[in-house]
Amino acid sequence: MESNIQNRTIAMAALFQCIDGVNQIANTGHIDETLYNSCIDSVLNENADDAVDLYGSLENLKIGFKSMLYQLGAGQLTPDGKPKDLEATRYALGILHLEKKLNKNPAVFKEVIKGIQETQKKLEFFDKNHENITASLADIYANTISNIGPKIMVKGDQAHLSNPNNASKIRALLLAGIRAALLWRQAGGNRWKLLLERGKLQKQADAFLSKL
The Cα–Cα gap between 36 and 2 comes to: 26
User: Is the distance from CB of 52 to CB of 211 less than 8 angstroms?
Assistant: no
Backbone angles phi, psi at 77, to 5 degrees: -120, 150
The Cα–Cα gap between 208 and 107 comes to: 37
Q: What is the pLDDT along the chain (212 residues), one digit of tens a residue?
A: 788 999 999 999 999 999 999 999 999 999 999 999 999 999 998 777 788 989 999 999 999 999 998 888 765 555 555 666 778 889 999 999 999 999 999 999 999 999 999 999 999 999 888 999 999 999 999 999 999 978 899 999 999 999 999 999 999 999 999 999 999 999 999 888 888 898 999 999 999 999 88
User: Is the distance from CB of 66 to CB of 26 less than 8 angstroms?
Assistant: no
3-state secondary structure 5-41: HHHHHHHHHHHHHHHHHHHHHHHHCCCCHHHHHHHHH
Across-strand partners of 117?
none
Question: 51-66: per-residue pLDDT in tens?
Answer: 898 999 999 999 999 9
User: Is the distance from CB of 176 to CB of 95 less than 8 angstroms?
Assistant: no
Backbone angles phi, psi at 83, to 5 degrees: -65, 145
The Cα–Cα gap between 62 and 59 comes to: 5
Q: Which residues contact 133 (CB under 8 A, 6 or more apart)?
A: 40, 44, 119, 122, 123, 126, 127
Give the end-to-end CA distance of the chain in Å, rounded to a whole number.
24
Identify the structural domains of the chain with CATH numbers, from first to last.
Answer: 5-210 (1.10.3890.10)
Q: Which residues contact 181 (CB under 8 A, 6 or more apart)?
A: 11, 15, 95, 96, 98, 99, 100
Across-strand partners of 83?
77
